[in-house]
Structures are given as structure tokens and as C-alpha cells.
Amino acid sequence: MNSKNKTLRIAIQKSGRLSEQTLELLQSIGLKFNGYKNRLMVQARNFDVELLLIRDDDIPEYVQDGVCELGFVGANVTLERKADVKVLRNLDYGICRLSLAVPKDSGITKAEDLSGKRIATSYPNLTKQYFEEKGLSVDTVYINGAVEVTPTLGVADVISDLVSTGGTLKANGLEELVSILHSECQLIQTNRSVSPEKQELIDKFLTRMEGSQQADRSRYIMMNAPTQAVDKICEIIPSLNSPTVLPLADDNMVAIHSVIPIEEFWEVMEQLKEAGATGIVILPIENMIV
């Protein structure tokens, strides 16, 4: 267990695909660190948080065992390790899928065709589980890295590996057969008990994260509109609160400001133009406390 009573300990990947975005996320919620490069542990300057920088494979266990209260790691790793942890947030980066891939022109068209085949993978548990659920028996060959070359080397017939763009499969003469797991980076929490002080820090941390995530999903919108179109425009804007309407030098016009969800941006924009809005400006939002 993490013996330091007050400091919240968070495990993140030291160096890899998740490191940069995780650090950016921590910085976006106001945490400041001095020189985290080449260090295993680093204390935040302005929050009672200590980062543990380790290999992603070790993160689920460290969190499970309570060495760290929180961790940022791909769902693929947590599920493969069968770690006993709570998933607090899906973070929408590090997105990939665990897929079965077969040599091009192999004639294999479905997972059922793989019965009795040798499958090279760094994810034997998730792969076996997939086939067990289908009532099929396969042989898994554990390979740590460069799984894509194993069919060419004759080490395996097919592979089960992470895919994001699909470029690596293609470059190795393989094609994706079926995706068996969607994965993204997640914030996980230990199921071990945490002190009230630490729970308070976790709650504070989550509130900040919520604000940052909500800001990422929202845009600040400003426009001018004829005064008589205000009611119609307020109906169109899917805002959290009622929009702000400000008078302009021209009595027949007003400025309208609001916050809208990013996914409704284009639809809303077209409707606003139809309703008479002009000079529509959209701005990113740094943070939001709702």
C-alpha cells in the first residue's frame, strides 16, 4: 500500500504512446511538474500528487495493489491482466482495437475458420477468452513485440494484435479478420480503501478532469442577429444555460453568446444562418466548471 498518507500517487506510462497525452491532460487540469524526464517519481509543484512513471504493463497491478491510487492505462492492458480496479473515466485517446489478422489470400473469412490454428499474440488472455466464448479451441503463442512478422516466419498461422490505422498489418501482408476488443486510455482507481484525505484529493482531481473533458467537448459561440430573431435563435442553441444576449450600437441588432456541444456545431451553425445570424465565431474553451 502507498504509505505516504496524504499524497495521491498516480501511475502513468513513462515513455510510449500514452505518455504525452496523459501529461498534457494532467497539465490541462492545472498540475505543474518539474523535470519529469528520466525520473521514476515526480511530485507536482502545486497539488498533493506524485506521479509514478513506469511501463504501461505494470500500471494495472500497481493500482490494484494500492501502490498507486490512480492510473492512466489502456483498457487492453487492464483487461489482459485481469486487474481488480475501478474504471473511472474513458479518455478518448490511445484508441485502438485488438484484432485477429490473417495472411492475405489465406482464404480465411471468419473466426470459426481459425479452430485449431496457432495464434501469435501479446494478449493471450483476451484472445483465449474470445474463442472460449465462441466454443472454439485455438493455440496461442505468446510473443512480446513484432507479432506481425510471425506468420511470415512460420511461428504462427494468424495473429491477434492491436491495430489503429491498419498500416502495420498491410505492410506485413496481413488483413484484419475481426475486431475482438475496442480499447482507449482509461483512468483507473484502486479498489483498496483510501484515506478520507486522499478520497478528497481524488474527488477534486475528478472535478477538474470533468471540467477539462467538458471543455474539450464544447465550443464558445458568438454571433450577431436581428433583434426579432432572438427567440428563434435561442430555441436553436442547445446551450447549458440560457444564451447571453447583448445590445449593440444598432438597435435592430444584438450579439448572442453561448456554449454548445461540439458534435452539434455544424447542424446548429446552418440553422443559425438560416435564422438570420451573421458573423458567427466559434472559440475553443480552456476549462469549464459547471
**Which stretches of the chain bind Zn ion, using CB under 5 A?**
56-57
Which of helix, strand or coil describes residue 265?
helix
221 binds, among ligand PRT, Zn ion, none (CB under 5 to 8 A by kind): none
99 binds, among ligand PRT, Zn ion, none (CB under 5 to 8 A by kind): none
Nearer to ligand PRT, 96 or 236 (CB): 96
Q: In the range 146-185, which residues lie near ligand PRT by CB under 6 A?
A: 161-168, 183
Provide, rounded to whole angstroms, the least separation between the CB of residue 58 and ligand PRT. 8
Task: Check if the beta carbon of residue 241 is closer than 8 Å to that of residue 218.
Answer: no
Select the residue interacting with ligand PRT from 56, 61, 69, 157 (CB under 6 A). Answer: 56
DSSP element (H, E) containing 174: strand 174-183
Nearer to Zn ion, 16 or 116 (CB): 16
Q: What angle do CA 245, 249, 253 make, to 5 degrees?
A: 50
Instruction: Read off the amino acid at residue 114.
Output: L
Provide, rounded to whole angstroms, the least separation between the CB of residue 168 and Zn ion. 16
CA quadruple 56, 58, 61, 65: dihedral sign: negative
How far is 179 from 107, CA to CA, in rounded Å? 18
Write out the DSSP string of 150-173.
HHHHTS-SEEEEEESSSHHHHHTT
Provide, rounded to whole angstroms, the least separation between the CB of residue 56 and Zn ion. 4
Task: Check if the beta carbon of residue 176 is closer than 8 Å to that of residue 166.
Answer: yes
Q: In the range 87-106, which residues lie near ligand PRT by CB under 6 A?
A: 94, 96
Nearer to Zn ion, 22 or 218 (CB): 22
Select the residue interacting with ligand PRT from 74, 151, 211, 243 (CB under 6 A). Answer: 74
How far is 231 from 5, CA to CA, in rounded Å? 55
> In this chain, which stretch among 49-57, 193-201, 244-252, 258-266 interacts with ligand PRT, using CB under 6 A?
49-57
Q: What are the residues binding ligand PRT (CB under 6 A)?
A: 13, 16-18, 55-57, 74, 76-77, 94, 96, 161-168, 183
